[in-house]
Chains A and B, each alone.
Chain A
Amino acid sequence: MSTTEETKTKSDTISKPAGFVEDFVRKPGKFPKVTHYCPGCGHGRVHKLIAEAMADLEIGDKTILISPVGCTVFAYYYFDCGNLQAAHGRAPAVATGVGRSNPGSITISYQGDGDLGAIGTAEIIHAANRGEDMTVIFVNNGIYGMTGGQMAPTTLEGQVTSTSPYGRDIRDAGHPMRMAEIIATLEAPVFVERVAVSDSKNIMKARKAIRKALQSQKDGHGFSFVEILSACPIGWKMKPTDAVKRVNDEMAKYFPIQNFKDKIAEHQPYPPRVTTPDNKKIIEVLGVNKDVRLFKKDQKFLDNFKDQNIKIAGFGGQGVLLAGTTIGYLGMETGLNVTWLPSYGPEMRGGTANCNVVLSNKEIGSPMVEHPSALIAMNGPSLEEFGPTVKKDGLIIINSSVVKEEYTKRNDVKKIYIPMNEIAESLGVMAAANMAAVTAFIAATKAFELNHLLELIKHNFKKKHLIEQNIAVINKSYQYVNDTYFK
């Protein structure tokens, strides 16, 4: 009897650990008692070590195993636990999602070298760095077995594969990657070890490492990583016995079999994650059951309301957007339809800001204001840019603290000059220049009652200690516009 047949008989048919299902019923074909792995392949052995550990640690019921892409894509044929199959390289991300959703479960991300060291490099590094509650079983056989013997990130220098037919040239393809060493440099992983399933001594070490990793996860220590050097006789085009021998003779020389990190003993277990929301808390936090509208519905006001298309523009930091939302809130609280559309993104960081506000008693179509019925220009460039777009007989409110000259380009509109900065500064709140702007709009258009603005400020303003000063700015601005233009 050859070694491979012996391995197959022992591991796959006679002493099946309880971590495996009784018959591999998910496996198609006529042989539900044996695995689909090739003679001499390390996966069968690794599977058995995991299954034994699952049974002995009594974690089978709460274990969720993520099958990767590669020869172990069908790991779910065998393991008696929750099974999830993931896209190539994504097992650590999938494990993150399923693990966080099931706090206290044991999540195993089973991956090969192409999966973990090439296409899924980002996923493994970041899952490790977060210290996710998972145990990674990384089977490194230095080749893409299932896909046809191509070069892996861990293929040794000079090794011939179907995509390195002249041997791996490190100048072209880079050096074989030592993933355990990379993972061990990160803070969060508590246990990182490289083992091999190449002889009985190494298999015992592998058995111990897998158990230690799973026990550690069970105890709440988060992320562990076990790299397992393994043979792929078919991919390597070698006899099974020679292939297994090569693991020790060649692979282990480049990939040292050793522990790289073990801080389980000194690590304080993580408290279990809370990821199930409390419905009462949601309602409370969102405030969706709060009181009714601020102002009583005034049908006459609503019926007679004439659409307002407002553009407010100025420097970033002048409170342009907040001036817009304040008018928006006024509209909403009085029962109108309102839209507010800001400039956003890098435009905001460029130092200018503007927003569009539409108020109507009808359903609003476009939220964009191309021809404002009212323009509030907080600075010169805004006036230059938007002044010409204002509707005939429209309104332009100009911040005369910043714009010192008279705006002569339009004589078919109403113009209101108000020193917004001076008014705000005189009352000790420079930041309230935007409230002077909003007030000037109300004073000039009579679109809303002054009282409504004052009530809104009292109700909505987050910085309570500034309410009184803002109210003073509003009152002074209202008086200024009335005295200057409406007496």
Chain B
Amino acid sequence: MKREFIKGNEAISKAALLAGCSFYFGYPITPSSEIVHACAQLFPLVGAGFLQAESEVASINMCYGAAAAGRRVMTASSSPGISLKQEGVSYMASAELPVVIIDIMRAGPGLGNIWPEQSDYNQVVKGGGHGSYKCPVLAPNCPQEMCDHTILAFELADKYRTPVYVLADAYIGQVMEPVEFPSEVLPVAKKEWAIYGDKESKHNLVTSIQMNTIEMEKVNVVLQKKYKEIEEKEVRFSEYMTDDAEMIIVAYGISSRLARSVVNDLRSKGIKIGLFRPITLFPFPKKQILKHADHAKLFVALELSNGQMVDDVRLAVNGKRPVEYYGRMGGAVPTHDELIEQISGFYKKYIG
């Protein structure tokens, strides 16, 4: 099988077409712009719709319209742009509209800079907009997964009628690696609830308003039931040398790549350390992490933020073992030597 040497961001645009996506609406922002560039180039060539919207707010609402029309639709941005999209995501979650949203995280708060951070965790994993909703979140750590997770995101979005995020960072978006693409386009089924502008579908209604409190509560109950099902069925994660680990680093995205190098290095020095990588951030692999609390004496969350995912690790470990956090902010990425020192420090403090 042919592999293509390709940037993570570009892999997303190609994967979207292979997943049956027929519309892209977006607004450019570094470091996600290769996605909008590739879509601008590819979508018109194959007869799919592409539009550079006037704003992030408009682009997510265009997605709302296309999703209501039964289309597989995607938008992509980076942190400040995701903040702007949150209104539309809340409406889509409530109206149960599928959409794939790509977030190539950069440093914040505010304009921040274009270097990698993972500080959108809270706004993406915990809902982000108003109301009691959540979106499934996939966290790729290489271009191959940028492809695979984009395709999976479309499948999950349709299956559960929900917005789904692919949450990556500037480095995973910019890095080039070999990628194997699927060789067929996924079929997109007709959706019985969608509005196709014809006689058969004209009685369909897409809305997120229910003035009657009991009716609106019912909408919420349906959503919560859906999230519970997603928590039961859609947890994804990967592990590296965790079986006998006394200490486990929990990390996703670029941090998990840094952590893997740290694990290799410290293992060669005889330290029993492993890496647990959540692939779905919602649903978070709580049970799978807790399982390791039997043998691991210490967990360390490594993330490029002030410590956001660490809250979920603590909830998962539930006080059974200490959970430490290490991270950098502002686009600064810890060096390997720095991590070895920090992680070894935690090891000495808790294990000896």
Contact = CB atoms under 8 A, between A and B. Distances in A.
Interface of A: 26, 28, 60-64, 66-67, 73-74, 76, 80-87, 90, 93-102, 104-106, 122-123, 125-126, 273-279, 281-283, 285-293, 325, 328-329, 332, 337-342, 344-346, 363-368, 370
Interface stretch (B149-157, B181-189, B344-352): B181-189
19 contacts: A28-B211, A60-B202, A63-B202, A84-B205, A90-B61, A90-B88, A96-B51, A97-B66, A97-B73, A98-B68, A100-B49, A102-B195, A278-B47, A279-B185, A283-B183, A341-B171, A345-B30, A346-B114, A367-B177
Contacts, number: 245
A340 B176 CA distance: 5
B209 A100 contact: no
B47 A281 contact: yes
A276 B48 CA distance: 5
B105 to A, nearest CB: 14
Given A102-B196, A273-B49, A282-B46, A73 B64 contact: no
Nearest to A341: B175
B324 interface: no
Interface stretch (B226-234, B304-312, B331-339): B331-339
B66 to A, nearest CB: 4
A277 B335 contact: no
A329 B335 contact: no
B294 interface: no
B178 A80 contact: no
A277 B65 contact: no
Given A365-B257, A370-B336, A90 B197 contact: no
B332 to A, nearest CB: 12
A122 B55 contact: yes
B132 interface: no
A97 B23 contact: yes
A97 B68 contact: yes
Contact of B18 (A288, A337, A363): A288
B177 A340 contact: yes
B209 A285 contact: no
Interface stretch (B1-9, B284-292, B314-322): B1-9
B53 A286 contact: no
A86 B195 CA distance: 14
Contact of B22 (A99, A123, A277): A277
Interface residues of B, number: 84
B88 A283 contact: no
A62 B175 CA distance: 46
Given A104-B197, A122-B58, A97 B31 contact: no
Contacts of A285: 42, 45-46
Contact of B69 (A97, A122, A286, A287): A97
Contact of A82 (B5, B73, B178, B202): B202
Contact of A365 (B69, B184, B205, B261): B261
Contacts of A126: 53-54, 58
B172 to A, nearest CB: 9
Given A105-B197, A286-B42, A339-B176, A292 B23 contact: no
Given A96-B65, A123-B61, A368-B333, A76 B46 contact: no
A100 B1 contact: no
Contacts of B95: 85
B9 to A, nearest CB: 10
B18 A282 contact: yes
Interface in B152-207: 170-171, 174-178, 181-185, 195-199, 201-202, 204-207
B134 interface: no
B62 A96 contact: yes
B2 A83 contact: no
A260 B69 CA distance: 33
B17 interface: yes
